[in-house]
């Protein structure tokens, strides 16, 4: 058995389209139609590659017959393919038709939405017997849910037989008991690429926590759900709803059961904590390297080189800035660039210097220098550091500023206590700009990082709940996505951010507030 999972047409390079001159609306249409998807009647089965797309074999009579051991099933099932009526003693290929998804971005900063391109997987390459038959089995891998076409084809690609199989969504819970403050892990399988099967929601004790998505991870992703109090039994449940909110009358939906009949609600138990609880922390998630697309243009090309070590971190970190091949015995001004502007006012978004953020350097006789500096408080994302000599920008390097836990204004108090949750380094791109806040697994709202405060964001809350610890989890969200409907993702906690967040990965942030008597 072999796989051709890499045989992917990834479609237009939507993350680098500035030169193409396409408007956002045009790209939205392009992203939404990269692979036509059709909903089959009232069954809710998604046909991956319906219509005129090349992933679907034309509906014409074929010489052979392909029979599957089941018409539908789940990831991990064993599926048997039996072919008959084919040329005798001939090598053939069994091909599974599917797609590959990704989040389409404009200029690596604005979210268009999910887009999908055709993908094929070779299930097996059997040789037919003297009667023109074969039989082979396959364990279904992680993939998008929906109706997949399976084709038997000759060595030259000519289709000989076909059938279809519907891959159903399912969810798994890693355990049904966890100490207070730890997490339950919910894993998804076979989420679909259409708006009705790509967006699932998690609820804790009848309150929505956040979203399950798997656009760029082939239908599979995981979410960690806090074990929050009081101790005892709680209900953890998965819903489906194309508006980004749970659709509560699923039996009446033309798209059938939430996840094909498998369990999607669990009775879980929260037990006493095993030790002292952390009061604030962030995920150990590390994003990608700084993206040069955000670097300002240089005024003059020289051999001068600039480096920042480490090239990622948080406000307050110490960094080393080194330069080489500069003019000897010369002052080099080091300029930290921030982002100015707003998406909700008329102020244009642009790169501007942050005055006084970095010290100047003096080169030695070889034109080199080295100095240490402290990362300033600023909006997150790639922050360019530019070397300026005699008013000319001659070299640039980048530092990727990550979100950071700053703290609570107070960590305890009775019900009704007002307190602030402060974080820094929230980004400015549409995938890094918004963070969604949950209190004891209940979604409360979101905040954005695009303001003139300079990098810190303050969430003001009031203490609620029984005496004891209460958990505040802040998750990556999306400021905007040109999806249909347009509010499917906006501002909501994306619980699957580790595998499926647009752009570079961003961490979640966590706090504990103790309600006193």
Q: Which of 235, 153, 220 is nearest to 190 (CA)?
A: 220
Q: CB-based contacts of 342: which residues, under 8 Å, 6+ apart?
A: 349, 450, 451
- Mean pLDDT throughout 492-499? 95
Does the pLDDT of residue 245 top 90, yes or no?
A: no
Domain ranges of the chain: 14-167, 170-284+403-515, 292-401
CATH architecture of 292-401: Sandwich (2.60)
- Mean pLDDT throughout 204-214? 96
| 253-275 pLDDT tens trace | 777 777 766 789 999 999 999 88
- 14-167 and 292-401 agree in CATH topology: yes
Does residue 483 contact residue 430 with C-beta atoms inside 8 Å?
no
Does the pLDDT of residue 362 top 70, yes or no?
A: yes
Containing 406, the helix (H) or strand (E) segment is strand 404-408
Report the CATH superfamily, name and number, of domain 170-284+403-515: Macroglobulin (MG2) domain (2.60.40.1930)
| 419-468 pLDDT tens trace | 999 999 998 888 988 999 999 999 999 988 666 556 788 999 999 999 99
CA angle 490, 494, 498 (to 5 degrees): 140
Show the tokens assigned to 220.
């599979």
User: What is the Cα–Cα distance from 134 to 82, expressed in whole angstroms?
Assistant: 6
Does residue 295 contact residue 393 with C-beta atoms inside 8 Å?
no
Half-sphere exposure at residue 491, Cβ-oriented, CA atoms within 13 angstroms: 10
> How does DSSP classify residue 500?
H
| 166-190 pLDDT tens trace | 999 999 999 999 999 999 999 999 9
Confidence of residue 20 (pLDDT cuts 50, 70, 90): very low
Count of residues making up the chain = 517
User: What is the Cα–Cα distance from 35 to 118, expressed in whole angstroms?
Assistant: 7
| 293-340 pLDDT tens trace | 899 999 877 899 999 999 999 999 999 999 999 999 999 999 999 998
- Mean pLDDT throughout 8-13? 36
Q: Which of 61, 62, 82 is nearest to 129 (CA)?
A: 82
Supply the pLDDT for residue 58.
Answer: 65
Does the pLDDT of residue 40 top 70, yes or no?
A: no
Residue 410: C-alpha distances to residues 167, 281, 421, 440 (Å): 49, 16, 9, 18
Which backbone phi and psi does 32 adopt, to 5 degrees?
A: -75, -15
Does the pLDDT of residue 45 top 50, yes or no?
A: no
Most confident of 40-54, 385-399, 441-455: 385-399
Domain over 14-167 is classified CATH 2.60.120.380: no
Residue 283: C-alpha distances to residues 229, 289, 402, 459, 509 (Å): 21, 17, 11, 19, 7
For the chain, the maximum distance between any two Cα atoms, rounded to a whole number of angstroms, is: 86
- Mean pLDDT throughout 148-157? 96
User: What is the Cα–Cα distance from 300 to 356, expressed in whole angstroms?
Assistant: 23
User: What is the Cα–Cα distance from 98 to 116, expressed in whole angstroms?
Assistant: 10
Phi-psi category of residue 139: left, alpha or beta, with phi > 0 → left and psi -120 to 50 → alpha: beta
Confidence of residue 66 (pLDDT cuts 50, 70, 90): very high
Average pLDDT, the chain: 87
Confidence of residue 26 (pLDDT cuts 50, 70, 90): very low
Percent of the chain scored above 70 by pLDDT? 86
Q: Of 55-64, 387-396, 468-477, where does mean pLDDT reach its minimum?
A: 55-64
Does the pLDDT of residue 407 top 70, yes or no?
A: yes
């Amino acid at each position: 058995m072999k796989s051709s999972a890499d045989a992917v047409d990834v479609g237009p390079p939507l993350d680098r389209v500035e030169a193409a001159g396409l408007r956002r609306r045009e790209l939205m249409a392009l992203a939404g139609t990269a692979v036509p998807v059709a909903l089959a009647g009232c069954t809710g089965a998604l046909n991956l590659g319906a219509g005129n797309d090349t992933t679907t074999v034309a509906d014409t009579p074929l010489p052979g017959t392909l029979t599957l051991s089941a018409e539908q099933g789940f990831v991990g099932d064993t599926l048997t393919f039996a072919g008959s009526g084919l040329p005798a003693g001939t090598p053939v290929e069994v091909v599974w038709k599917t797609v590959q998804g990704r989040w389409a971005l404009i200029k690596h900063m604005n979210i268009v939405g999910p887009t999908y391109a055709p993908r094929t997987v070779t299930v097996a390459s059997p040789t037919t017997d003297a009667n023109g038959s074969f039989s082979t089995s396959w364990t279904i891998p992680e993939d998008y849910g929906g109706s997949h076409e399976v084709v038997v084809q000759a060595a030259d690609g000519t289709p000989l037989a076909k059938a279809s199989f519907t891959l159903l969504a399912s969810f798994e819970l890693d355990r049904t008991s966890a100490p207070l403050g730890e997490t339950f892990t919910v894993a998804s399988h076979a989420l679909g690429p259409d708006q009705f099967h790509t967006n699932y929601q998690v609820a804790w004790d009848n309150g929505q926590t956040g979203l399950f998505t798997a656009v760029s991870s082939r239908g599979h992703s995981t979410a960690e759900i806090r074990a929050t109090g009081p101790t005892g039994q709680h209900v953890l449940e998965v819903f489906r709803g194309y508006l980004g909110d749970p659709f509560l009358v699923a039996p009446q939906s033309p798209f059938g059961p939430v996840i094909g009949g498998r369990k999607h609600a669990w009775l879980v138990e929260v037990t006493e904590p095993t030790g002292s609880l952390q009061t604030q922390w962030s995920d150990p998630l590390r994003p990608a390297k700084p993206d040069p697309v955000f670097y300002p243009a240089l005024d003059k090309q020289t051999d001068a080189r600039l480096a920042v070590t480490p090239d990622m971190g948080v406000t307050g970190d110490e960094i080393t800035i080194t330069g080489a091949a500069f003019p000897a015995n010369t002052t080099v001004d080091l300029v930290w660039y921030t982002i100015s502007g707003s998406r909700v006012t008329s102020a244009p978004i642009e790169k501007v210097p942050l005055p006084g953020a970095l010290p100047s350097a003096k080169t030695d006789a070889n034109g080199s220098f080295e100095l240490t500096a402290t990362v300033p408080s600023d909006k997150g994302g790639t922050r360019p550091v530019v070397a300026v000599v005699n008013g000319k920008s001659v070299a640039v390097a980048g530092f990727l500023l990550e979100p950071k836990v700053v703290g609570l204004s107070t960590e305890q108090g009775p019900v009704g206590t007002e307190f602030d949750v402060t974080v820094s380094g929230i980004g400015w791109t549409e995938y890094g700009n918004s963070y969604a806040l949950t209190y004891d697994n209940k979604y409360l709202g979101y905040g954005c990082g695009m303001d003139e405060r300079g990098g810190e964001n303050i969430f003001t809350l009031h203490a609620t709940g029984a005496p004891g610890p209460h958990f505040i989890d802040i998750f990556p969200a999306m400021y905007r996505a040109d999806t249909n409907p347009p509010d499917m993702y906006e501002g909501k906690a994306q619980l699957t951010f580790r595998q499926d967040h647009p752009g570079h990965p961003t961490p979640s942030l966590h706090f504990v507030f103790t309600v006193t008597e």
